[in-house]
A and B are shown apart, each in its own frame.
Chain A
Amino acid sequence: MIDILASSANILTEAGFTTGRVSINGREALVFEDAIVLGFLFTYEDPLELIESWDKDASRAVADHQFGLRHAAQKAWNAYVVLLAAGDTTYANSVVLTAIEEDLVGTRKIARAGIGDHADLGAALLPLLPLQTAPKLEAVDIVAEIRQRATELQPRAIDAFLSTAEETVVIQVLEEAP
């Protein structure tokens, strides 16, 4: 098990967010903000606790930070409430969690359970994070690749194939090969 709050702070900080720990409803929470979004992150022991407490916690967070949200103006539309539970979820609970997420009233909610490691946490916070995979594909020397895969042939035949010679010439070279 990981310390979800601490790990979340680390991940969000690495992603360019400013973070701070606060207490909301007596529950330690994380406040985060960057140039576009801001939000609150709560952690729970299990999905049931999350389902029971999230609304109250989210409302409390908004109330506690109403001045900041008012100051945020347009940015307040980009407010997130991230609700993370450590324990595994049932299908029924996962449906409830999805329903929480699909409720866009007031804030954008991210509700996930079964956060057991950093991979789970990264997946949960993915909407807030930069692209995790960015393949940089280099040029392929296809001629060298072809040569590498035709070692059973005479070099002259490969040279002929890879040249601009007519196919009939290549065939002739292939026929003449010892």
Chain B
Amino acid sequence: MKLAFLDLCGFRGYRKPIRIEFAEGFTIIDGHNGVGKSTIFDAIEFALTGTLSKYSDAKAGGETVADYLWWTGEGPVPTDRYVEVGFRDDDEEVTIRRTQFDDPNASILEKLAARLCDTRLVPVAPLSQLCATAIIRDEHITSLSLDLKEADRYALLRDALGANNADAWIARGNRLVSLAKQRTAAAQQDVTTANADVAAAARRLDEVRASLVAETVMADVVERLRAFANTVVTPDQLAGPVRERIAAVGAEIESLRSLSERWNTAQAERLRIDDLSKSLDAANTEKQAATAALQALTSTQESVSASALAGEARSLISLVGLGRQLGLRNGHCPLCGKGQSHEEFEHGIQTAESLAHRLNEDAARAAEREQARGIAETRLATATRAVEAAKSAQLSALSVVNSFDQRRKAEGIAADATAEQITARAAELRQSLYTAQKDLRILETLRLSVDLERAQRAEADAKSRLTRAQERFGRARKAEAGAQALYDAARRATSETLDRRLERVLPLMSELYRRLRPHPVWNDIEYSIRGDVRRFLKLQVGEALNPQFLFSSGQRRATGLAFLLSVNLSLAWSRWRTILLDDPVQHVDDFRTVHLAELIAQLVSEGRQIICAVEDAALADLLCRRLPVDRPQGARRVTLGPDTDGALAKLAERLVNPLVRNSLLSGPEQLAAG
């Protein structure tokens, strides 16, 4: 797009309305100082951005340029106050209008920005950036180029080329690194704190231990207890094995004591076992004899017992006595009622008495036999009990001896050991037990101490916190490294792509320098990029000479023009084909002015629109002659100055006509004539 026109009224020094049509090729504006040439450029910038960057943030007496944007001079007030700029391309015309009270619609500005910029590359505040690079003002030619710090010069060119939102990624990477560093620092602080806590806990533990028992004593105790319990565990784990060993030793002592106590009994019993065997044998013999005797007595079976026979005899005698007493009654036996004589009766009484005597004798004999059998049975029972008693005594003795021997074997005591040896071993164990119990009490003072446990817990907690803090620190450092890698990647992506683009632009800058030829000796300038973190664009001529301090004012200005024009021509994102030059040749001699005219001519030939304001009418004439006009109305000359009312106005305006195309070489005959 190119500028089409500018309408303004009541803006800056312009009281009356003025309209300047811009030609597609070039428009040369001339006029003396103070006729509003620069205001033309100001108006274009103001229409696009709403401000004038050349005043920056300048303040004086509480006033800024905003107080002087609109006409404030003497005389009649303007009929209106506005600035209107038209842009045109083959398809469309876009007009931006600002008044004293109204800004242009944002959508129109966006639309214009979209037409003036490549949307893929558009930078932040594109219209301001466009104005900054397209409007080349006299007062900024050196200050924005040669006099710039190298870093600022690099930034200027970077901004002209950049527009790839790389800065946003760098800023994000930077924020990421900052955040990661904060987290790392916090994690490191946590580690430091945790380390201090661990050290403090260890110190506290040492203090507690020292207050409990001397370390050497504890070490001896631990060693003794380790030997006692036959273990190598750590002191804090030693109590358990020691207690188990104490119980075992106690049991062993008790066992030895029991053995010792039973030693004499066992020995006596051991000696008694032979006698007891003999007694058992004798008892068995007696028992066998008694059994035989009894068997002999019980071989004859009694049909009636002695008591029964004796009873029968007594009954019969009673009956005989009763018969005698009663006598024969009426010739009849009083006992059986049988009729008989006295002789028969007497005889019968005697016979009965005789029978009673036999029965009595049988009863006596039966009683004797029963008594003998009873004696034999008693003898057998006695013998049997004696056998049982002997057996029991023998078993008891064997049991005592066997039990003793088993315990002795279990204790590992030799069969030939003496009671004194057992007693000595028990005493030795008791001493060991006593020492272990004493040592355990010392050890337990270590473990059981509340302070010690608290200190140990505190140390364990501190170590645990330290472990967690170290883990967090490790993760944070890893994240920081990653963040740094991303930041570096963003920066390298930015700087390397920018450098690649710059490398492609630097030849243009060198060419423009060679075209403007600021210096008669140093015909070439070297632009180089240096710096890693901060980037610099260094300008050198000859043998690494700095033109900033070497060139005259006019030469520096010409060099600056070469730089600023190359920046404009390098704008990768701009579709605005206009370059505005506000009095670019102040302090520049005629020779170098011609160079500038030649360069501008080439820019116009390549389709750029040039709007150039100069003070000198002759220079304006030169430019109008030297710049190409490829079509009718392709170029325009405007002269500004005060009108008859003293108001700034357009004094003259004319189209610049194309030159004669062929003059020297219109035909072969002219060549021949030459």
Contacts from A to B (Cβ < 8 Å): 18-20, 22, 24, 31-33, 35-38, 64-65, 67-69, 71-78, 94-95, 98, 101-102, 104, 108, 123, 126-135, 137-140, 142-143, 145-150, 152-153, 157-158, 161-162, 167-168, 170-171, 174-177
**CB within 8 Å of A: which B348-376 residues:** none
- Residue-by-residue, is B498-541 near A (CB-CB < 8 Å gives 1, otherwise 0)? 00010011011001001100001101000000000000000000
Q: Identify the stretch in B102-110, B256-264, B447-455, B485-493 within 8 Å (CB) of chain A at 4 or more residues.
A: B485-493
Across chains A and B, which 6 residue pairs bring their CB atoms closest together, nearest first? A72-B663, A137-B572, A145-B493, A174-B479, A149-B489, A174-B482
Q: Does B606 contact A104, Cβ atoms closer than 8 Å? A: no
C-alpha gap A76/B628 in the complex (Å):
14
On chain B, the residues within 8 Å of A108 by CB distance are 594
C-alpha gap A68/B438 in the complex (Å):
133
On chain B, the residues within 8 Å of A78 by CB distance are 625-626, 659
B627 → A minimal CB distance (Å): 8
Interface centre among B169, B673, B674 (most CB of A within 10 A): B674
Residue in chain B with minimal CB distance to A103: B591
Q: Does B674 contact A36, Cβ atoms closer than 8 Å? A: no
Residue in chain B with minimal CB distance to A172: B479
With contacts A137-B161, A171-B479 known, is A161 near B660, CB below 8 A? no
C-alpha gap A31/B672 in the complex (Å):
12
Other 9 A-B pairs with CB < 8 A, given A35-B628, A131-B602, A175-B475 = A31-B674, A68-B670, A75-B625, A75-B663, A94-B521, A131-B569, A140-B497, A170-B483, A171-B183
B94 within 8 A of A: no
Contacts from B to A (Cβ < 8 Å): 118, 120-121, 161, 164-166, 169, 172-173, 175-176, 179-180, 183, 475-476, 478-479, 482-483, 485-486, 488-490, 492-494, 496-497, 501, 504-505, 507-508, 511, 514-515, 520-521, 523, 569-570, 572, 589-591, 594-595, 598, 601-603, 605-606, 622, 625-628, 630, 658-666, 670-671, 673-674
On chain B, the residues within 8 Å of A75 by CB distance are 625, 659-660, 663
Q: Which of B164, B507, B570, B659 is close to A140, meaning CB atoms less than 8 Å apart?
A: B164
Q: Does B486 contact A68, Cβ atoms closer than 8 Å? A: no
Q: Does A131 contact B606, Cβ atoms closer than 8 Å? A: yes
Q: Does B479 contact A36, Cβ atoms closer than 8 Å? A: no
C-alpha gap A99/B383 in the complex (Å):
169
Q: Does B165 contact A98, Cβ atoms closer than 8 Å? A: no
Q: Does B483 contact A171, Cβ atoms closer than 8 Å? A: yes
On chain A, the residues within 8 Å of B661 by CB distance are 35
Q: Does B497 contact A142, Cβ atoms closer than 8 Å? A: yes
10 A-B contacts, Cβ less than 8 Å apart? Answer: A18-B662, A36-B601, A38-B664, A67-B673, A98-B520, A127-B598, A139-B164, A145-B494, A150-B485, A175-B478
Q: Does A139 contact B664, Cβ atoms closer than 8 Å? A: no
With contacts A135-B505, A150-B489, A157-B482 known, is A35 near B630, CB below 8 A? yes
On chain B, the residues within 8 Å of A38 by CB distance are 663-665
On chain B, the residues within 8 Å of A33 by CB distance are 662-665
C-alpha gap A157/B180 in the complex (Å):
14
Q: Which of B488, B570, B598 is close to A149, meaning CB atoms less than 8 Å apart?
A: B488
Q: Does B121 contact A139, Cβ atoms closer than 8 Å? A: yes
Interface centre among B161, B595, B625 (most CB of A within 10 A): B625
With contacts A35-B659, A77-B622, A157-B482 known, is A167 near B665, CB below 8 A? no
Q: Does A135 contact B504, Cβ atoms closer than 8 Å? A: yes
B174 → A minimal CB distance (Å): 10
A80 → B minimal CB distance (Å): 10
C-alpha gap A65/B591 in the complex (Å):
25
Residue in chain A with minimal CB distance to B628: A36
Q: Does A101 contact B591, Cβ atoms closer than 8 Å? A: yes
Residue in chain B with minimal CB distance to A16: B605
With contacts A142-B166, A175-B479 known, is A123 near B514, CB below 8 A? yes
Interface centre among B172, B488, B660 (most CB of A within 10 A): B660
On chain B, the residues within 8 Å of A68 by CB distance are 663-666, 670, 674
On chain A, the residues within 8 Å of B673 by CB distance are 67
C-alpha gap A142/B491 in the complex (Å):
10
Residue in chain A with minimal CB distance to B621: A77
Q: Does A31 contact B504, Cβ atoms closer than 8 Å? A: no
C-alpha gap A147/B120 in the complex (Å):
19
On chain A, the residues within 8 Å of B521 by CB distance are 94
C-alpha gap A137/B164 in the complex (Å):
12
C-alpha gap A67/B120 in the complex (Å):
55
Q: Does B606 contact A130, Cβ atoms closer than 8 Å? A: yes
Q: Which of B476, B493, B658 is close to A142, meaning CB atoms less than 8 Å apart?
A: B493
With contacts A31-B671, A36-B628 known, is A71 near B663, CB below 8 A? yes
B503 → A minimal CB distance (Å): 9
Q: Does A20 contact B665, Cβ atoms closer than 8 Å? A: yes
On chain A, the residues within 8 Å of B594 by CB distance are 104, 108
On chain B, the residues within 8 Å of A123 by CB distance are 514, 523
Q: Which of A32, A74, A130, A133 is close to B625, meaning CB atoms less than 8 Å apart?
A: A74
A103 → B minimal CB distance (Å): 9
Q: Which of A19, A73, A145, A168 is close to B660, meaning CB atoms less than 8 Å apart?
A: A73
C-alpha gap A147/B492 in the complex (Å):
11
On chain A, the residues within 8 Å of B662 by CB distance are 18, 33
B28 → A minimal CB distance (Å): 14
Q: Which of B475, B492, B671 is close to A20, meaning CB atoms less than 8 Å apart?
A: B671
Q: Which of A20, A104, A157 is close to B486, meaning CB atoms less than 8 Å apart?
A: A157
Q: Does B664 contact A131, Cβ atoms closer than 8 Å? A: no
On chain A, the residues within 8 Å of B479 by CB distance are 171, 174-175
With contacts A95-B520, A171-B483 known, is A137 near B674, CB below 8 A? no
C-alpha gap A140/B118 in the complex (Å):
12
Residue in chain B with minimal CB distance to A98: B520
With contacts A38-B664, A145-B493 known, is A170 near B659, CB below 8 A? no
On chain A, the residues within 8 Å of B523 by CB distance are 123
C-alpha gap A76/B660 in the complex (Å):
10
Q: Does A18 contact B665, Cβ atoms closer than 8 Å? A: yes
B297 → A minimal CB distance (Å): 109
Q: Which of A32, A128, A153 is close to B482, meaning CB atoms less than 8 Å apart?
A: A153
Interface centre among A19, A36, A64, A123 (most CB of B within 10 A): A36
Q: Does B176 contact A170, Cβ atoms closer than 8 Å? A: yes
On chain A, the residues within 8 Å of B602 by CB distance are 129-131
